[in-house]
Structure 1
Amino acid sequence: MNTTFDTLGFTEIKDMLAQRAISPQAREILLALRPFYSESELRRNMRETTQARQMLDLVGQPPSPVMERTEQCLEKAVRGEMLLPEEVEGIGMFLTAVSRMRSYLERGKTSGIALAYYTENLHPLEELREEIGRTVRSGQVDSFATPCLSRLRRELEALEEKIKEKAEGLLRVKKSYMAESFVVQRNGRICLPVKKEYKSRVEGSVIDRSSSGATLFIEPAALSRLREELEVLRIEEDCEVRRILYQLTDEIAGYEEVMRDNLRMLVKLDVIFARGKLSSDLGAVEPEINTDGRIELAGARHPMIPAETCVPLDFRLGGGARGIVITGPNTGGKTVAIKTVGLFALMAGSGLHVPCERADICMANQVLCDIGDGQNIADNLSTFSAHIRNVLDILKRVTRESIVILDELGSGTDPAEGMGIAVAILEQLRESGCLFLATTHYPEVKTYAAGHEEILNARMAFDRENLKPLYRLEIGKAGESCALYIAKRLGMPDDMLEMAAQRAYGGISRELKTELRLEEGPKVRLPKLPSPTLEKMQNRKALQNRYNSFNRGDSVTVYPEQVIGIVVKPEDDMGNVLVQVKKEKRLINHRRLKLKVAASQLYPEDYDFSIIFDSVENRKARHQMGKHHVEGLVVNAGADGE
């Protein structure tokens, strides 16, 4: 149940209640608040909340009950231990609070508020309160508590003054022997500060000495006798004070039962008025309570949502319908709606008012919910696993008197299987006879709900023109195809919309075509926008083709010298070109070359380049070897590479 309290926000409501209580006992009771199982107990608590609200509206805030340590002091008195003056004074303040609460409640009797008649259970014990007020003040027994104490304190005061005057007289007479010009106190005794060398000149007892040892603090013999008289008077005073406190303690213990009744009643009233204060602060109303399994809310406002942004909820469930399936777009307010219903059921079942215009809420033996992803990393559970575990636990506990709230039913898994599981869960809830609310996105679940009269479809309203959720629940209407409509408004072509509808619903109805304004005939396809192209790295073969851009006989410019050369041999694998520059053949990287005139423009197609690149000797040797083999004849091919 605590998980449900946290999920639905009831724990926060209890914290708000505790903040409005004054006493620690009332805060403890409010933090432990739970829905009632007894109808008579619930109705009594609800009446008390209503009457507290009436008193607050009529008379204003009640007086603060002063109960700090009252119970501990009472128990101490009953044990026979003497109460200290501040403890007796605390009992007096408690009785004053009882008297003030009684006067506050009396003002409600004229308006016929039944809560006001709790005055009959409050007993301010006027005589004891007045005696405490007369005897103890500011944490001390007052001097006028008894004639004896008054006399003793007068004698003490006179004797203390006499001792002071005597000491100051001795100080003046023996001024030359003194280290200081004033009397001092050491160990509770009045002493003279005598120089060490004059110790024998002052009759009395050495009580203390200075850190240097140069000054002795001596209590004169004449003062010693007076001090002894003072101590006797103080003992007599202490005995009288104790006698008075024991007498008051005994009187307080004699009213033990009345005091405990007062304590219980002030705590009870603190609890009741905390509920009334919350009702006032939330602008809440008393809900009607029924046991017929019926929930009706008009203008319900979730207490955790600011009033300026909260959209009121109208809700109705019960009678013939036992369940509601809510569909609609994300962020449309489905979860807030079901949480509001669940929270109101907990609040009303605990005797609290609910923030709405009108409410009729049934009692429930339990409110069970599965909201949020519930993922448990420690247990290595997925979101879907966590949902199923929670739902199965709910199905084990649910009875006809339960309220069940499920959010995103069947989500977190394969859509087809999730839809089937959602329907199976709803069927179990339907057979249990409980009240249930579920949110879903599956269209098949809407179809299932439509086939059972005990289940209603509902949707969250959506502003199609502005593409905004309205956060308003519409019961009796299945969720509309907002996703398709939004896609249409945002520019999705008709052919894509038709395919989406086909996949989602197994076909597209005439109503949906009209709703989406799908055009007949050829469909306009989604236009393509210009996009950048990738620049891929070329492979080695492509590089080789690029290198072969120079041919034998091409006239080229060699950089950076900017001299003219003739290509002897095209690029090799390393991109180097053999170029003849001024009868010298050089290997030059192709990047340093620029084509000046192609060979095809300089020479005929069958031109013999050996005329340019070979020496006369090489050409002759080639000519002879072309006719027949000549022993010892060598052709030098190193220069042109052939």
Structure 2
Amino acid sequence: MVQTDKVLEFDKIKEKWIELALTEWAKEKIKDTVPSMSENELIARQRETSEARELLEKSGNPPLVSLSGIRECIQTAVKGDCLSISQLEDIEKSLVAVMRLKNYLSRCKQWEISLAYYNENLDCLDNLKETISMQIRNGRIDDSASKDLKSFRDEIERNERCMREKVDAVIRANKESLSDNFSTLRNGHICIPVKKEYKYKIKGNVIDKSSTGGTLFIEPSSVGKYYETLQLLRTHEENEEYRILYSLSAMVADYEEILEQNISMIEKLDFIFSKGKLSLEYDGAEPKINTERYIRIEDGRHPLMVPSECVPLQFEIGKSFDGVVITGPNTGGKTVTIKTVALNCMMAQCGLHVACKKAEICMNSNFLCDIGDGQNISENLSTFSAHIVNVNEILKKVNRDSLVVMDELGSGTDPTEGMGIAIAILEELQKSGGLFLVTTHYPEVKQYADKKARIENAKMTFDKESLKPLYQLVIGEAVESCAFYIAGKMGMPEEMLKTAMKAAYGKEEISENLKQVVSKNHLEKRRVSGIQKRKRRNKAAQKALEFQLGDSVLVYPDKKIGIICKTANEKGVLRVQMADKKIWVNRKRIKLHVAAEKLYPDDYDFSIIFDSVKNRKLRHQMDRGKIIKEQITIDD
């Protein structure tokens, strides 16, 4: 069974919808959205979408955030683990987002829209937010987070200042002993660079040395006494920082339930507002929902098409008829029409607005589709076979609450048999009591629909003058055949059309309107370029081509040995270098003695054998650019 979402392109609607959501929860909910089967739930979904759109139009976009990773932070705190500074900052940012969203919804209450009252389900947790903001600032724990932390940091700063002062004093007193006049930090110790030969002049510990060994990095004794004090102070500072982080993490854990409630509410609002944003994207409208098996669409559009390029669709089904058979020319909009109806119905039942000016949509138990080329290569099914497999699945599932759309009914096989199958399918669909829209080219199917109760013909209009479809659906009329008219307008002669008419209807008569169109038509034969055959070589010349430059051959009747110096011409005559001269000889008078490939390497220069010394020198000079042009004599 084909996937209805893809056939109707609802998957593409979901892709656009997902882009408008911020939270991962909302994105997943959109992916999993299916038509609702509860009337109360569907009416509530539609009301949410309408209210979200109204708030967006009146108050702008709400300050929603993605909340990525916040739940993980809360669960870490609940387990008793310590949250990092960045995680606590994320918690604070989420509470700021809650505060802004709550304020946004509070302002929206002036419009008396029920969605605005969701603000009462949000708790800003001012105590937690302010505590985090006071104790953590700019990516670090603030000095004022506790008295002990401030005391430790003040003491660390005092000791570091004293260390720098002592180091500076040692540098000033021992400039001639130092490699540079500045201190450096090595392995956590403040050191001065002392020349190796003066290492005993300065009291202290050697911490490191340069790569050459000529400089020693010494921590002066007057400075070293501060090192252990600083290490102890930093340990106290670190412990106090962890105590503060654990305290804040415990506060987060205490507010777990409220934080989770805030997250759930933001996710829900994100989902609701994404529906409103989507409605604004294609200028949708809230449909009226019914369970009376009635659909009416006024100025309908396909939501994925540019509105300015759409011809508004007027459609109705379910009151006086349950089935519509649509006919019309290829590329006339039949497929787009049935997709537009089914897609808007599916969107409505998922709580989305429809791309219409007004619409009344009935709830459907399922949406059953057979649209497009159903060829299944993996199962080795032809287009017609796959079509029939799909049709059988549809007929098994269809009931009175189904909406069925089928394109090109009975196509892909012998026309007579295909027409019979199309009518049989319509019979079965009508027995089910469901609503159905089908397209066809068969005139017999149009005639069947004319005679059958509760089935109505419809046509896609066509401009006979411009030969362009108008993309307008007219219910209650079947389109007349335009094939002969189009063929005539495109230049087919009258005699050919008469032959076609006789083959189709058993008579050669054509209408007066068509005669006027084709009266000047005739087939003008045009000159076409002829085929140029390649010249064939005689057998002697063909065999002569078997000899290659450099081949050693026997020249009859004297059986003297020579070398091929010029390959055969079209007459099969070759040039052979004998011991004292070059001769022309017919291929019939020579026989291969030793092939060139056995006598010479692949890149051998045959001019050494066949060319004069003078000519070879001239060619060499020309190659090097020393002479522009010179007459080279060739000894023929």
Taking the TM superposition and a 5 Å limit, the aligned residue runs for 1:286-365 are 286-365=286-365
State how far apart, in whole Å, the 2-side matches of 1:531 and 1:258 are: 85
Say if 1:514 and 1:477 are closer, same or farther in 2 by CA, change over 3 A.
Answer: farther
Structure 2 counterpart of 1:608:
none
Partner of 1:269: 269
Corresponding residue for residue 212 of structure 2: 212
Partners in 2 of 1:526 and 1:177 — Cα distance? 112
- Cross-structure match for 2:538: none
5 Å-filtered alignment, 1:481-560, equals 481-493=481-493, 496-497=496-497, 500-501=500-501, 503-504=503-504, 513=511, 516=514, 527=522, 529-530=524-525
Contact 1:66 1:93 in 2 (8 A): no
Alignment of 1:6-155 (within 5 A): 6-155=6-155
Q: How much has 1:60 moved relative to structure 2? A: 0.4
| Equivalent residues of 1:65, 1:98 under 8 A apart | no
* Partner SS, residue 144 of structure 1: helix
Distance 1:455 1:505 in 2: 26
Offset, 1:307: 2.1
- Give the superposition deviation at 1:9: 1.1
What TM-score do the two structures reach when normalised by structure 1? 0.79
Shift of 1:508: 9.2
- Is 2:230 aligned against 1:230? yes
Q: Quote how far apart the aligned CAs of 1:271 are.
A: 0.8
Q: How far apart, CA to CA, are the structure 1 residues paired with 2:112 and 2:147? A: 49
1:321 & 1:168 partners in 2: Cα distance? Answer: 100
Return the letter of the residue paired with 1:281.
E
Letter in 2 for 1:352: L
How far does residue 306 in structure 1 lie from its aligned partner after superposition?
Answer: 1.5
Q: Residue 503 of structure 1: CA displacement?
A: 4.5
Question: Take 1:371 and 1:351, find their aligned partners in 2: how far apart are those partners?
Answer: 24
Cα offset for 1:473? 0.6
Call closer, same or farther: CA 1:267–1:527 in 2, change over 3 Å: closer
Contact map agreement 2:24 2:66 (CA 8 A) in 1? no
- Residues 535 and 110 (structure 1 numbering): CA distance in 2 closer, same or farther, change over 3 Å? closer
Q: Hey, what's the Cα distance between the residues in 2 that align with 1:526 and 1:467? A: 17
8 A Cα contact 1:66 1:97, kept in partner: no
The letter for the 2-side match of 1:403 is L
Residues 280/224 of structure 1: CA separation in 2 closer, same or farther (3 Å cut): same
When residues 532 and 93 of structure 1 are mapped into structure 2, their CA distance, relative to the original with a 3 A threshold, is: closer
Taking a change above 3 Å as real, the CA distance of residues 506 and 387 of structure 1, as seen in their structure-2 partners, is farther
Change (3 A) 1:98 1:41: same
Structure 1 counterpart SS, 2:306: coil
Q: Give the Å deviation of 1:505.
A: 5.3
- Partner Cα separation in structure 2 for residue 280 and residue 535 of structure 1: 63
CA deviation after TM superposition for structure 1 residue 450, in Å: 1.2
Check 1:132–1:57 CA distance in 2 against 1; reply closer, same or farther (3 A cut). Answer: same
2:441 maps to what in 1?
441
**Deviation of 1:501 (Å):** 4.5
TM superposition shift of 1:502: 5.2
Code of the residue aligned with 1:529 in structure 2: it is: E
Q: Distance in 1 between matches of 2:343 and 2:530?
A: 61
Which residues of 2 match residues 555-570 of structure 1 at below 5 A?
A: none
The separation in 1 between residues aligned to 2:180 and 2:503, in whole angstroms, is 107
Report what 2:256 is aligned to.
Answer: 256
Displacement of 1:526 in angstroms is: 6.6
Aligned length, in residue pairs: 532
Report the equivalent of 1:160: 160
Q: How far apart, CA to CA, are the structure 1 residues paired with 2:244 and 2:526?
A: 99
Structure 2 Cα separation of the partners of residues 345 and 72 of structure 1: 39
What residue is the counterpart of 2:591 in the other structure? none
Letter in 1 for 2:524: L
Q: 1:441 to 1:506 in 2, by over 3 A?
A: farther
- Report the Cα offset of residue 415 of structure 1: 0.5
**Partners in 1 of 2:397 and 2:167 — Cα distance?**
87
- 2-side partners of 1:287 and 1:220: how far apart? 85
> Contact 1:494 / 1:518 at 8 angstroms: preserved in 2?
no
Q: CA deviation at 1:411?
A: 0.9
Give the letter for the 1:376 counterpart. N
| Alignment check: 8 A CA contact 1:300 1:355 kept | yes
- SS of 1:449's partner is helix
2:250 counterpart letter in structure 1: D
**1:221 Cα offset (Å):** 2.1
Q: Considering only CA atoms, is the larger Rg found in Structure 1 or Structure 2?
A: 1
Change (3 A) 1:506 1:449: farther
Runs of at least 5 residues in structure 1 that lack an aligned partner in the other structure: 538-642
SS at match of 2:355: coil
Give secondary structure in 2 for the equivalent of 1:231: helix
Please report how far the alpha carbon of residue 432 of structure 1 lies from its aligned counterpart in structure 2 after TM superposition: 0.9
Q: CA deviation at 1:492?
A: 4.2
Please give the alpha-carbon distance, in whole angstroms, between the structure 2 residues aligned to 1:48 and 1:179.
76
**Matched residue type, 1:465:** E
* Conservation of the 8 A alpha-carbon contact between 1:287 and 1:358: yes
Residue identity matched to 2:83:
L
1:622 aligned partner:
none
Counterpart of 2:187 in structure 1 is 187
Equivalent pair of 1:9/1:343 in contact (CA under 8 Å): yes
Contact 1:42/1:351 (8 A) holds in 2: yes
Does the CA-based 8 Å contact 1:364-1:402 persist in structure 2?
yes
| Cα separation, 2, equivalents of 1:113 and 1:25 | 25
Is the contact between residue 493 and residue 522 of structure 2 (CA under 8 Å) also seen in structure 1?
Answer: no
- Indicate how the Cα distance of structure 1 residues 235 and 388 shifts in structure 2: closer, same or farther if over 3 A, else same: same
1:31 Cα offset (Å)? 2.0
Residue 488 of structure 1: CA displacement? 3.5
What's 1:416 paired with?
Answer: 416
Tell whether the 8 Å contact from 2:64 to 2:266 is kept in structure 1 after alignment.
Answer: no
Tell me what 1:574 maps to. none
Indicate the SS of the match to 1:217. strand
Structure 1 residue 332, shift from structure 2 partner: 0.3
Q: Is 1:66–1:94's contact at 8 Å kept on the other side of the alignment?
A: no
Q: Is the 8 A contact 1:369 1:405 kept in 2?
A: yes
- Counterpart residue identity of residue 244, structure 2: I
Q: Distance in 1 between matches of 2:412 and 2:516?
A: 32
Q: Structure 2 length normalisation: TM-score?
A: 0.80
Residues 202 and 220 of structure 2 are in contact (CA less than 8 Å); yes or no, is this contact kept in structure 1?
yes
Structure 1 residue 394 and structure 2 residue 394: aligned?
yes
Give 5+ residue unaligned stretches, structure 2.
533-636
1:567-617 CA-to-partner distances (Å, cap 9, x unmatched) read xxxxxxxxxxxxxxxxxxxxxxxxxxxxxxxxxxxxxxxxxxxxxxxxxxx
What is aligned with 1:282? 282
Distance 2:528 2:260 in 1: 88
SS in 2 for 1:364: coil
Q: Compute the displacement of 1:185 (Å).
A: 0.5
Deviation at 1:499, TM superposition (A): 5.1
Q: Look up the match of 2:622.
A: none
Distance in structure 2 (CA, Å) of the matches to 1:402 and 1:347: 15
Structure 1 distance, partners of 2:81, 2:372, is 57
Q: What do residues 357-393 of structure 1 show as CA deviations (whole Å, max 9, x unaligned)?
A: 1111111121111111121222222111111111111
Indicate if the aligned counterparts of 1:78 and 1:256 stay in contact, CA closer than 8 A: yes
CA–CA distance in structure 2, aligned partners of residues 299 and 72 of structure 1:
48
Letter in 1 for 2:432: S
